[in-house]
Every structure is written in structure tokens, then in C-alpha cells.
Amino acid sequence: MQSVMKGTVEKAGEAISGIMSSNKKTADMKMNIVEPTSSTPLTSDFGVKQHDTDNWLSASTGDRQGPALLEDNFAREKIMKFDHERIPERVVHARGAGAFGTFKLYESAADVTSAGVLNDTSRTTPVFLRFSTVLGSRGSADTVRDVRGFAVKFYTDEGNWDIVGNDIPVFFIQDAMKFPDVIHAGKPEPDNEVPTAQSAHNNFWDFQYLHTEATHMFMWAMSDRGIPRSYRMMQGFGVNTFTLVNADGKRSFVKFHFTPTLGVHSFVWDEALKLAGQDPDFHRKDLYTAIDMGAFPTWKFGIQVCPEERQDDFDFDILDATKVWPEELLPVRYIGEMQLNKNVDEYFTQTEQVAFCTSHVVPGIGFSDDPLLQGRNFSYFDTQLSRLGVNWQELPINRPVCPVMNNHRDGALRHKITPGKYNYWPNRGSVAPPVTKSEGAYVDYPEKVVAMKQRLKTVKFQEHFSQAQLFYNSISEVEKSHLTAAISFELDHCDDPVVYERMVERLCDIDLGLAQAVAEQVGGPMPKKQGRPNHGLTAKGLSQFDFTPEALGLEPTIVSRMVAIIIGDGFNLSEYEAVKGALTAAGAFPFTIGPKRQPVMPAGGGKGVSPDHHFEGMRSTMFDSIYIPGGSHISTLKKQGRVVHWVREAFGHCKAIGATGEAVELVQMACGIEGMQFSTSSEVVDSYGVVTASGLGASASSVEEGLKMIKGAKS
Ligand code: HDD
């Protein structure tokens, strides 16, 4: 793998050092980075050099091991530090992966906000992004069906701004007070702590039925959005409604959007299921590898703005986090771009210790009365206290890149040293005074509130089905069939008939056909009539097909796609080299897979090729595409069940498959279905995403043509 990508890595290295030298946050963290080398002696924590950290000091004779001595301060220190290595994992979103990057604005939003990060196009703002699953614990698998977290920390010149979002634009509940309930219901059940990282169980679905407001969100979670192909290929949404205030003091409501330039792509369920066992770190590795190889993931950043005077214009409440703002009503205005371009130096001190708070906003950005957001503003700050301790904002990954000064003092593990007499305000020396708005202070928007104190949800918050129908009506037939299969899978794992029968009843409120298809699979009475009438409306921006590169006006791309090239002794070297070269040139990551990691000999002899992996070491699930060159190896490969399985499984997962020369026969045998076309000449044929050229001899133009077809097939 390293040799294949050496050139790219070198280029990436240059690019990264360029980006990083101007990145204020990575520069700021340098003061805490100490890199061990072979000339750094091993010491105790109190700095004394050590000569043996393997043998506990003991009272032993030459031939008989004696009692270990408590006196050994080095051994005690080593064990004691180990005993306390763990901190509480996040109560939700425990499993995650993060990276550093930059945010660049290409259009000023000064008309709606005074925030420098959103109106100064000359700035490059450092960011840290942490992706996560929600339900699983820290050691759970990446590819489970779940919502994904998308939390961005912008280290702006005016302080840290956090967007703590998800890959789905809506949420299960409207009020933060319900959060412990929805999470308890989704997490493993309390009696036996089963299942891990899954929503496929009685309690989750019991909650979904009993909380009609969750209907819209569970439709999204059961769609292909719940099983993203890569963190790099997901959208990110702030979900809650925030506010923007411009220099004239005019306020608007806003939702934040991140759209990946690679397009939005998902696994098929069988692939995700298998990967959870075959490679539980799949998403983590995918992110790390792409950044390491210089294929920096990028998102367009957009704002959906609702002027204050329009807030009552819609049949939903704009403060309700279970609702999207349809783009037809309030279009997304793309104004910037975020790129991830540096992997973490160390997982714990960066990805684990990063702490996000929805309450972290900068001047020009504010909250709304969204009842979910209001509660979140309390919860994030609070949870960091038990996870990281009171001085968590001083940790290197969390501290801002702008000056911090106040009269907060002391507490466990305080790092900052603040000399001087004064730790209060006002003080006789006028030290560290508050400043005015024009000097950059955060000044709260003067909102008039006249109300009654009461526990309720206003009328528009009580409507829970219209957008669940809108979502279902707007997705494609393929997405609908995946959604039906996903709900059927989940309810199959519920063994309490009350749970799955009620859920079928709930689905009738969305679509009778959907409810019947699910009932057919999971059992219980077959529903006969639609519950609430379906309004039949659709909206754009809900189906994943609205976010393919083509739909975004971008070229379809195979950049960073993993391609397995399968070879055995007797393969055609020129075809192999031509296709591998073309793939590399197009930015894909080709890996050679052979029967063993020893050299595999091409037809006609010569120097062998050492594969990156062997057939049993990897699975087709770990790649986006397969290519098999022609050659005499095919007669052997055809007889190998594992190789046939590689091809058949990749076909079953709708992957692009390429074959040249004799390999066409292997592919034909492994995935030939009635009506499928295979090439019988050097003409390149694309049928069901299987691109073949039987008499190729690998001319540059035919390889080019094949690649174009693969790009089309994959997107
Ligand atoms: Fe939350 C973590 C996203 C509602 C309470 N949440 C957390 C993370 C993400 C989200 C991405 C992981 C951050 C990280 O990587 O460190 N949460 C959301 C979204 C929500 C949402 C998009 C709905 C719009 N969350 C929500 C509510 C509450 C919480 C209503 C509580 C009232 N969330 C938490 C938390 C966590 C958290 C318990 C656990 C770890 C952490 O905060 O730092 O406070």
C-alpha cells in the first residue's frame, strides 16, 4: 500500500506542511507536543532516567525469585498510571474519529451576520471535526446502523464556535428533557446490556411508537443515511435553529449545512453488517487513510436563513428540531468550504479530549428558543465536567487560539498561571476589564419575552407526521426498498409482538404499502387501510440522489475509492499495469490481492508482483470496486471458491467490477445473471456496473473508456 501510493503521500506531505504552517490551532498545539526519538531517554514521571522498566524490584537470590518490594517507586508509578488511564466515555457518541482542517469562506454573509468567521473572506479558520456513532460504546463497530455525529469546532479569532451536528437534519425529540428517555431506550436494555450499538431491539421501537414526534427521524435513520459509506461522504447538519445578527442588529434564524463534494453515498446493509465484524474500524481507517494519502475530504458549507419577519409563515414551527426547512421555502446558500487535511497526532489527547458545546458561539451568532437547543446548551458543558474535569477548556485541543483572560481560578488540574493581585472584577487596578460591543464583546440580542411559565408544546409542535410523509414521498424507489428492508430487519429483532404490531400500525400513518410490506416480513395482522391520509407532497434535498456529485454540479469521481486488483500466477502484466496506472492517475487507491503475499508471477515470467494482501486476509466488502486482468491465472482462480465469492459478493453489493481478457469468463461465471451483457471483443461493455473487454490487450484509450464507465456506475 505504501509503495503504491508513495508519490501521492509525498505530495500530500508537502501540501500538509504548507497548510499546517499557517494553521493557528496546529501551531498552538505544538507547545504540548513532545515527540519521543531513539535519543530521548526513558524517565519516570518525575524526570529520573530509568534503566529497567520490565522487572519489579524484588528480594531475590540468583536462582530463586523472591518477594516484590513495595519500595519500587518506578513500578508503583507505572502500575498506578495504568490503573487510571481511562476516563468516562461519552454518555452518547462514545465512538468517534477526528481530524484537523480549515474553513474558508468564499462569499461574505455580512448581510446577515457580524461574525468574522462568516463575513471575512480573507480568513482561513482552523477547525477540528469529530465524527461518531451515537449508541455504541467506545469499542463498538463503525458500520452499524445509527445516526452519525458531525461535530465541528471552529477556532475563530473571536473564540471557539462549535456546531455539534449530525448527518441527519432532524432529531427524535423536540424537548431536551426527553433526551435521557430516548437514549435509554436506544442503548442496550438495562437487564442484560444487549444489544450493542443497535437500534434493533424492543425498547428502541417501543419508544418510537410511543413518541410520535420521533416518526420523522426514524424514517431518516432507517434510510441509507443510517449506514454511510464513509464519514467523508455524509452531509452534516447543525439540526437546531440558531440565530444570526448583523452589524445593524437585525436578527435572522439559521440552519447550518455541510455537503460533501464527494457526494453522499451509503453501504448496502449486507455490506455494513459484514464489515461490523470484518473491520470494526472501517470508517476510522477510511478517514485516516484518505487524509494520509492527500485525498482531503471537503464539504461545502451552507446557511439556510429565515428572516425574523417570516418565522410564522410555515405550517411547521421553525424552532422544532423534528422538522426540516424545505429548500423550496428557504434555499440553502452555500458560502464556504471546509477541508480536513491533517490527521490527529494522538487519539486520546485530541479526539477523546475534544469537548464540544452548543453554547459555544461567537459574536454575530446566537441561539433561538428551540427547546432542544436550550437544554443542549446546559448538557454539553455539564457532561464535560464528569468526563474531563472543571478545567477542560484548558486542554490543548479545547483552548481557543485567541487570548483568554478572566477571573476563573483554580480547580483540579489548573494549568494556566495568572500572575497578579486581582481575581475579581471590578478591581482597583482596572485589570482585565469587560469591553464593549464595538471592541468585540458578545452582547446578547435584546429579545422581548412576554409569557406564562408553563410546561407545554405549542400547536405546531404537536403535528408529527407531515414531514415523515414528505420524506418518504421524496426518496427514490431504491431508497424506499432499502428503508422497507431496514425497518423489517429491525422489527425482526423485536420479539415482543406489541412492539412490532404497533410499529406496523404507525407506518400506516405514512404509507399503507410500506406498512404492508413490513407486516409481511415481521408478522402480525396485515393492515388494510391508510391511517392519516398522505398529502402526496415532495421536497428536494431529502433523497440522497440530490447529493451525488452530478446533482451538485461536480464531476463524478473515483478519487480515494479503494479498488482491489485480483491476480494469480500467470496474470497479464501489461493489462494489470495499464489499469493500475490509470486508476492511480485518476486518484483511486488500487490494492493488489493475490493468493499469498509472496511474489505472484505474470504470464511469460519476469519479476513477480508482491500483493498488498492475500485472498483470505481481506474481503470484497472492504473495497469499492474490483478489477481482474486476463491471463492464464483465470483457469485456477475460477476453481477457487474464495475468489469466486469475492466477485459474486461485490456484484451483490452493486459495486463496479472490471475484467479484461480471460477474466471476463470468471466474472461471467461468478455474477452472470440472465440478460447481462459481456464483451466478446475488445469493445468495452458496461452491463449492471460490470465493465468488460475480453480482447483488450490494454490500450490506453480502452482503459480510459472503462474507467469512465466505472465512474458512472459507481456514482
Ligand atoms: Fe448531543 C454528544 C449531536 C441532542 C447531550 N451530541 C453529542 C455529539 C454529537 C451530538 C455530534 C458528540 C460530540 C463529540 O464528538 O464530542 N446531540 C447532537 C444533536 C442533537 C443532540 C445533533 C440534536 C439536535 N444531545 C442532545 C440533547 C442532549 C444531548 C437534547 C441533552 C439534553 N450530546 C449530549 C451530551 C454529549 C452529546 C450528553 C455526550 C458527550 C458530549 O456531549 O460531549 O452532553
Q: With a 6 A CB cut-off, is 187 part of the ligand 1 pocket?
A: no
Q: Is 464 a catalytic residue?
A: no
Q: With a 6 A CB cut-off, is 693 part of the ligand 1 pocket?
A: no
pLDDT at 498 over 70: yes
CA 452 to chain centre: 41
Q: With a 6 A CB cut-off, is 380 part of the ligand 1 pocket?
A: yes
Q: With a 6 A CB cut-off, is 372 part of the ligand 1 pocket?
A: yes
Q: Is 166 a catalytic residue?
A: yes
pLDDT at 360: 98
pLDDT at 715: 38
Largest Cα–Cα distance of the chain, in whole Å? Answer: 91
Of the candidates 160, 166, 534, 572, the residue annotated as catalytic is 166
User: How close is the Cα of 396 to the center of ligand 1, in Å?
Assistant: 21
Q: With a 6 A CB cut-off, is 356 part of the ligand 1 pocket?
A: yes
pLDDT at 7: 40
Q: Which residue's CA is minimally distant from atom 26 of ligand 1?
A: 376
User: How close is the Cα of 652 to the center of ligand 1, in Å?
Assistant: 36
The dihedrals phi and psi of 693, each to the nearest 5 degrees, come to -150, 105
Q: Summarize pLDDT for 252-305 with one digit per residue, the tens.
A: 999 999 999 999 999 999 999 999 999 999 999 999 999 999 999 999 999 999
* Torsion angle in degrees (nearest 10) through CA of 36, 41, 44, 45: -40
Q: With a 6 A CB cut-off, is 397 part of the ligand 1 pocket?
A: no
Return left, alpha or beta for 25; rule: phi > 0 is left, psi -120 to 50 is alpha, else beta: alpha
Which ligand 1 atom sits closest to the C-alpha of 239?
24
Q: What percent of the chain has pLDDT over 70?
A: 94
User: How close is the Cα of 92 to the center of ligand 1, in Å?
Assistant: 7
Positive or negative, the Cα torsion across 544, 545, 551, 556? positive
pLDDT at 693: 83
Q: Is 169 within 8 Å of 237 (Cβ atoms)?
A: yes
Q: 348, 379, 387: which to mutate for ligand 1, most atoms within 8 A of CB?
A: 379
Q: Average pLDDT for residues 689-704, to the nearest whole number?
A: 68
Q: Please tell me whether the peptide bond between 426 and the residue prior to it is cis, using omega within 30 degrees of 0.
A: yes
Element housing 702 (H / E): helix 700-714
Distance separating alpha carbons of residues 29 and 340, to the nearest angstrom: 17
Q: 164, 225, 350: which to mutate for ligand 1, most atoms within 8 A of CB?
A: 164
Q: With a 6 A CB cut-off, is 375 part of the ligand 1 pocket?
A: yes
Q: Summarize pLDDT for 6-53 with one digit per residue, the tens.
A: 344 444 555 555 555 689 999 999 999 999 999 999 999 999 999 999
CA angle 281, 283, 286 (to 5 degrees): 105
Q: What percent of the chain has pLDDT over 90?
A: 90
User: How close is the Cα of 176 to the center of ligand 1, in Å?
Assistant: 10
User: How close is the Cα of 133 to the center of ligand 1, in Å?
Assistant: 11
User: How close is the Cα of 386 to the center of ligand 1, in Å?
Assistant: 15
The DSSP letter of residue 347 is I
| Highest-confidence segment of 8-22, 629-643, 679-693 | 629-643
In the numeric block, which cell numbers belong to residue 180? Answer: 435521557
Q: With a 6 A CB cut-off, is 96 part of the ligand 1 pocket?
A: yes
Of the candidates 23, 93, 216, 341, the residue annotated as catalytic is 93
pLDDT at 136 over 70: yes
Q: With a 6 A CB cut-off, is 92 part of the ligand 1 pocket?
A: yes
Q: 153, 213, 376, 392: which to mutate for ligand 1, most atoms within 8 A of CB?
A: 376
CA 638 to chain centre: 38
pLDDT at 202: 98
Distance separating alpha carbons of residues 163 and 99, to the nearest angstrom: 15
Its ipTM equals 0.99
User: How close is the Cα of 372 to the center of ligand 1, in Å?
Assistant: 11
User: How close is the Cα of 357 to the center of ligand 1, in Å?
Assistant: 8
Q: Average pLDDT for residues 647-652, to the nearest whole number?
A: 94
Distance separating alpha carbons of residues 473 and 400, to the nearest angstrom: 44
Q: State the average pLDDT for the chain.
A: 94
Q: Summarize pLDDT for 108-130 with one digit per residue, the tens.
A: 999 999 999 999 999 999 999 99
pLDDT at 264: 97
Q: Is 656 within 8 Å of 691 (Cβ atoms)?
A: yes
Q: With a 6 A CB cut-off, is 172 part of the ligand 1 pocket?
A: no
Which ligand 1 atom sits closest to the C-alpha of 90?
40
Q: With a 6 A CB cut-off, is 376 part of the ligand 1 pocket?
A: yes
Q: Summarize pLDDT for 525-571 with one digit per residue, the tens.
A: 999 999 999 999 999 999 999 999 999 999 989 999 999 999 999 99
671 pLDDT band, cuts 50/70/90, is: confident
Which ligand 1 atom sits closest to the C-alpha of 93?
12
Q: Which residue's CA is minimally distant from atom 4 of ligand 1?
A: 376
Say if strands 365-367 and 332-343 run parallel, antiparallel, or are unpaired: unpaired
Q: Average pLDDT for residues 197-204, to the nearest whole number?
A: 97
Q: Average pLDDT for residues 697-708, to the nearest whole number?
A: 60
Which ligand 1 atom sits closest to the C-alpha of 238?
22
Closest CA to 579 of 690, 703, 685: 703
Q: What is the 3 state secondary structure string of 15-67? A: HHHHHHHCCHHHHHHHHHCCCCCCCCCCECCCCCECCCCCCCCECCCCCCCCC
Check whether 380 is labelled as a binding-site residue: yes
Q: Average pLDDT for residues 605-633, to the nearest whole number?
A: 96
pLDDT at 5 over 50: no
Q: With a 6 A CB cut-off, is 130 part of the ligand 1 pocket?
A: yes
- Residue reference for cell 466478446: 680
Q: Average pLDDT for residues 141-165, to the nearest whole number?
A: 98
Q: With a 6 A CB cut-off, is 702 part of the ligand 1 pocket?
A: no
User: How close is the Cα of 377 to the center of ligand 1, in Å?
Assistant: 10
pLDDT at 234: 98
pLDDT at 4: 35
pLDDT at 710: 58
Q: Average pLDDT for residues 312-336, to the nearest whole number?
A: 98
